[in-house]
Amino acid sequence: MTRSTLPESAAQLTEATSIALAKAIQFEPIATPLRTEPITTAYANAGTNREPNRIEANRDAPPVLILHGFDSSLLEFRRLFPLLTQKDYGEREVWLVDMLGFGFSDRPIDIALNPDTIKTHLHAFIQQKIQRPVTLIGASMGGAAAIDFCLAYPELVEDLVLLDSAGYQNGPVIGKFLFPPLDQWAVEFLRRPDVRRKISLNAYFDGDRLVTPDAELCAQLHLLMPRWDEGLKAFTKSGGYPKLRSRLPQVQAKTLLLWGRQDKILGTKDAVPFSQAIPKCELVWIDQAGHVPHLEQPQAIAEAIAGFSRA
């Protein structure tokens, strides 16, 4: 079953950036070699002259494509998205996409959900919608996905930006051993509002202020999409993204690693060795930010990306 609209609960969003991004989300059938039928893919964009209601962008800079984290959606970039198109931050053409099996994109029952299929789907999206190399940005698990894509398709990545990125260490391996009914119990546990609130509070430096009802709805809205639980179980059982540490020296793109100084999810000890493992990498610490600096300090993130792009 495919759904090409947001759940009705999106009408309950209250913050201006959340409402604006929800209204900007579009759905596109993306053809891939993974199956005969196209995959309905959720995305948003601004700054491109190929879309209605466009904002003129800096055509000399590569477009920006941003990837979300685990069990998340493009709504996590609601505060960063509008900044990157502004003059002060480089007037970039910006794209957000929900990766295969995540967010508001489809979760086909006839496709294995793993890093390889995610990479294939992402390649098809870039080829069909953006049609030129990008500045690829990934947050948390999206950082591991961005590194994996950069290694496979270096010709499509002009620059790489990682936000508190996964990939330096192995992810949890317990998912490989979640057999029924344990797998369903696990996703139902993750569905619980109190559990998701606790995760959100831990992800922020100032969670008591920023984990608002609107923020909680943004973090939960994709759970109402068809087969959310099946997609999550399938990806987790695949093992997710493995440790990429040994492959980081192969990254050719100029890289910016942004890290929240108060990250309690991944911690901070790996940030320096992570940056040192990538040949052309600059590490920038983001003060008063946890694991989601793009939500806590979006202006600082936008400024860092703009400065990195001009360098």
Report the domain count for the chain.
Answer: 1
Q: 191 lies in which domain range?
A: 8-310
Q: What per-residue confidence (pLDDT) applies to 185? A: 60
Residues 13-53: tens digit of each pLDDT: 999 999 999 999 999 999 999 999 999 999 999 986 544 44
Task: Specify the range with the lowest mean pLDDT, choosing from 80-89, 170-179, 245-254, 301-310.
Answer: 170-179
Q: Tell me the backbone φ, ψ of residue 216, rounded to 5 degrees.
A: -65, -40
Query: What's the rounded mean pLDDT across residues 224-243?
Result: 90
In a domain, 110, yes or no: yes
Ramachandran bin of 41, using left for φ above 0, alpha for ψ from -120 to 50, beta for the remaining angles: beta
Q: What per-residue confidence (pLDDT) applies to 83? A: 96
Element (DSSP H or E) covering residue 142: helix 141-152
Quote the CA–CA distance of 199 and 280 in Å, as a whole number.
33
130: DSSP letter: I
In a domain, 237, yes or no: yes
Q: What per-residue confidence (pLDDT) applies to 54? A: 44
Please, how many CA atoms are within 13 Å of residue 25, restricted to the half-sphere of its CB?
A: 26
pTM for the whole structure: 0.93
In a domain, 1, yes or no: no
In a domain, 3, yes or no: no
Query: What's the rounded mean pLDDT across residues 251-257?
Result: 97
pLDDT band at 60 (very low <50, low <70, confident <90, very high): confident
Return the C-alpha torsion angle 201, 206, 208, 212, nearest 10: -80
pLDDT band at 181 (very low <50, low <70, confident <90, very high): very low
pLDDT band at 173 (very low <50, low <70, confident <90, very high): very low
Q: What per-residue confidence (pLDDT) applies to 225? A: 96
The two structure tokens encoding residue 273: 């060795």
The two structure tokens encoding residue 294: 């793009």
Residues 196-233: tens digit of each pLDDT: 999 999 999 999 999 999 999 999 999 999 999 999 98
Relative to beta strand 39-46, strand 94-97 is antiparallel
Contact, 138 vs 151, CB < 8 A?
A: no
Quote the CA–CA distance of 237 and 235 in Å, as a whole number.
5
Quote the CA–CA distance of 159 and 146 in Å, as a whole number.
11
CATH, residue 14: 3.40.50.1820
What contacts 112, CB < 8 A, 6 or more positions away?
234, 238
